[in-house]
Structure 1
């Protein structure tokens, strides 16, 4: 994650079922559904003003850390999240087995 985004807090907007990361007056979001120990990550949106700056990746990493702290299992339905996890295979440990590539670590 770009160190610039480390101090920016992740907001869990449970009412709207989305995580939010506010950067320079704009807000990136990741929509989710929480079912018991499963966290389905559905859709990521990054405002045009923030695109190409690593904000989406920072948002995903912060959400994965949030899930890890709560011992949740991830279901990556959002293609952006799935691609991020594919690029960072250490996160496969959080992903539900049916959503990991063949041969991915448990």
Structure 2
């Protein structure tokens, strides 16, 4: 994560994880059960394109999921690609996830 995002807090609403970068948002839509958090869609407002904000919200969200003790279901293609690029995060992916063996 780029240093400029480290001190920006992750906010969890009932529908998404988000960070506010100078009034612009990067966020991930999710669904949560007792034991799992499914990440559905990652998006950053156009003003944040190319800044690393999307990667920052993903990394902050993965940290949150790990700290919660829940397992990750990375349905979002961006999150899936992020984990492929950073395989150390596979440790929080639910082994029952259909694409687990492709990570």
On whether the aligned pair clears a TM of 0.5, the verdict is yes
TM-score, with structure 1 as normaliser: 0.91
TM-score, with structure 2 as normaliser: 0.93
How far off is 1:26 after superposition?
Answer: 0.5
The residue number in structure 2 matching 1:4 is 4
How far off is 1:101 after superposition?
Answer: 2.4
The unaligned stretches of length 5 or more in structure 2 are none
Give, in whole Å, the separation in 2 of the partners of 1:51 and 1:77: 22
The residue number in structure 2 matching 1:90 is 88
Aligned length, in residue pairs: 101
After the TM superposition, which segments of 4 or more aligned residues of structure 1 sit over 3 Å from their partners? none
The unaligned stretches of length 5 or more in structure 1 are none
The residue number in structure 1 matching 2:67 is 69
- Coordinate RMSD, CA, aligned: 1.1
Give, in whole Å, the separation in 1 of the partners of 2:52 and 2:35: 28
